Structure 1
Amino acid sequence: MTTVNADYHALLARHDAMRLRRQLLTPGQRPDGAPAVHEAARTYDGAADQRVITHHLDLVTPFDGLISHLYDAMFAQRPFLRSLFPASMEFQRKHLADILRYLIDHLHRPEEIVAVFTRLGRDHRKLGVRPAHFATFETALREALHRSAGPRWNEAMEGAWLRMLRFAVAAMVEGAEAALAEPPAWQATVTAHQVRRPGLAVLRVRPHEPYPYRAGQYASVASPLLPQAWRQYSLARAPWPDGELEFHVRRTGTGGVSEALVAHTRVGDTLRLGPAGGTMTLDDPLTRDVLLVAGDTGWAPAKALLEELAARRTAHRTAHLFLDARSGLYDIESPTDLERRHPWLRVVPVLGEGPATDPYRRLAEVVGRHGDWSEHVAFVSGPPALVGATVDRLAAARLPAARVRHDPLPVTAPPAGARRAVGGAAADGG
Structure 2
Amino acid sequence: MSAIRPLGRPSATDAAEPGAGRISTPAPKSQVLYADEDVAHAVADEDPVADADAMVGVKHAEVRPTPDAEITPTPEVPAADTHGHTQTDTRTDTPGAAYAVPAEAIPAEAVPAEVALVEAAPADAAPAVTAPAVTAPTPSQSTASPDAVLVQRTMAEIAPVSDKVTSYFYALLFTRHPELRDLFPAAMDTQRDRLLKALLTAAENIDHTDVLVTYLRGLGRGHRKYGTRPEHYPAVGECLIGALSRYASASWDEETEVAWVRAYTTISQVMIDAAAEDELRAPAWWYAEVVSHDLRTPDIAVVTVRPDQPYPFLAGQYTSLETPWWPRIWRHYSFASAPRSDGLLSFHVKAVPAGWVSNALVHRARPGDVVRLGPPGGSMTVDHSTDSGLLCLGGGTGIAPIKALVEDVAEHGRRRPVEVFYGARTDHDLYDIDTMLRLQQTHPWLAVRPVVDNRAQLPDAVREYGPWNEYDAYLSGPPGMIRSGVDALRDVGIPVGRIRHDSVEELVAAGD
* TM-score strictly above 0.5: yes
Matched, 1:76 2:175: yes
- Can you list the C-alpha shifts for 1:178-201, whole angstroms capped at 9, x where unaligned? 201210000000111122223222
Q: In the alignment, what sits opposite 1:57?
A: 155
Determine the structure 1 residue equivalent to 2:304.
Answer: 204
Residue 141, structure 1, aligned to residue 240, structure 2 = yes
- 1:266 aligned onto 2:266: no
- C-alpha contact (below 8 Å) 2:287/2:373 kept by paired residues: yes
Deviations 1:353-402 (A, max 9, x none): 33xxxxx5x32122123111112111111011111111111112221111
Which residue of structure 2 lines up, in the alignment, with residue 166 of structure 1? 265
Deviation at 1:243, TM superposition (A): 0.5
Other-structure match for 1:26: none
Tell me the CA shift for residue 151 of structure 1. Answer: 5.9
Q: Which amino acid aligns with 1:349?
A: P
Name the CA shift for 1:148/1:264 in 2 (closer, same or farther; >3 Å). Answer: farther
d(CA) in 2 for partners of 1:412, 1:125: 20
Write the letter of the residue equivalent to 1:334: T
1:96 positional shift = 2.4
**CA RMSD of the aligned region, Å?**
2.7
Q: 2:462 corresponds to which residue? A: 367
1:12 to 70, 89, 98: 89
- Give the Cα–Cα distance (whole angstroms) in 2 for the partners of residues 386 and 126 of structure 1: 31
C-alpha deviation, 1:329, in angstroms: 1.0
CA offsets per residue over residues 328-363 of structure 1, 9 Å max, x none? Answer: 211121111111111000111112233xxxxx5x32
Checking the alignment, whether the CA contact within 8 Å between 1:85 and 1:229 is kept in structure 2 is no
Q: Are the equivalent residues in 2 in contact too, given 1:86–1:226 (CA < 8 A)?
A: no
- TM-superposed CA distance for 1:259, in Å, is 1.9
**Which residue is equivalent to 2:218?**
119
Work out the CA distance in 2 between the residues paired with 1:98 and 1:369: 40
Unaligned runs of 5+ in 2: 1-24, 31-85, 97-142
Task: Confirm or deny that 1:285 pairs with 2:385.
Answer: yes
Alignment of 1:393-404 (within 5 A): 393-404=488-499
Distance 1:152 1:377, change over 3 A: closer
Question: Is contact 2:154-2:251 (8 Å) kept?
Answer: no
Of 125, 128, 146 in structure 1, the residue corresponding to residue 227 of structure 2 is 128
Q: Which amino acid aligns with 2:146?
A: A
Q: Is the 8 A contact 2:421 2:450 kept in 1?
A: yes
Contact 2:154/2:248, CA 8 A, preserved across alignment = no
Aligned with 1:179: secondary structure? helix
1:63 and 1:97 in contact (8 A); partners too: no
* Structure-2 separation of matches of 1:142 and 1:177: 25
Contact kept? 2:201, 2:507, Cα under 8 Å:
no
- Secondary structure of 1:340's aligned partner: helix
Contact 1:188 1:206 in 2 (8 A): yes
Distance 1:366 1:395 in 2: 14
| Partner Cα separation in structure 2 for residue 281 and residue 419 of structure 1 | 20
The structure 2 residue matched to 1:348, chosen from 412, 437, 449, is 449
SS at match of 1:158: helix
Paired position in structure 1 for 2:3: none
Indicate if the aligned counterparts of 1:98 and 1:411 stay in contact, CA closer than 8 A: no
Q: Is the 8 A contact 2:87 2:227 kept in 1?
A: no
Aligned positions of 1:292-331 closer than 5 A: 292-315=392-415, 317-327=416-426, 328-331=429-432
Contact kept? 1:217, 1:278, Cα under 8 Å: yes
In structure 2, the partner of 1:339 is 440
- Structure 2 equivalent of residue 245 of structure 1: 345
Contact 1:216 1:281 in 2 (8 A): yes
Say whether the 8 Å CA contact 2:27–2:87 is kept in structure 1: no
Write out per-residue CA displacement over residues 195-228 of structure 1, whole angstroms, 9 at most, x where no aligned residue: 2223222100000000010000000000111111
The Cα offsets for residues 48-90 of structure 1, whole Å up to 9 and x where unpaired, read as: 3332233332432343221221222122222222222111111
Q: How many residues align?
A: 384
Give the partner amino acid of 2:214: A
What's the CA shift for 1:132?
0.9
Give the Cα–Cα distance (whole angstroms) in 1 for the partners of residues 168 and 156 of structure 2.
16
Equivalent AA in structure 2 for residue 54 of structure 1: Q
3-state SS of 2:336 partner: coil
Asked whether the equivalents of residues 323 and 371 of structure 2 are also in contact (C-alpha less than 8 Å), the reply is: yes
User: Counterpart of 2:58?
Assistant: none
Q: Distance in 2 between matches of 1:85 and 1:383?
A: 27
Deviation at 1:2, TM superposition (A): 6.0
Distance 1:253 1:87, change over 3 A: farther
2:216 and 2:461 map into 1 onto residues whose CA distance is 37
Confirm or deny: 8 A CA contact 2:87 2:225 kept in the other structure.
no
Deviations 1:146-201 (A, max 9, x none): 23334653223323332222222122112111201210000000111122223222
- Output the CA distance in 2 between the equivalents of 1:86 and 1:179: 25
* Counterpart-to-counterpart distance in 2, 1:374 and 1:308: 22
SS in 2 for 1:12: coil
* Aligned counterparts of 2:436 and 2:173: Cα–Cα separation in 1: 49
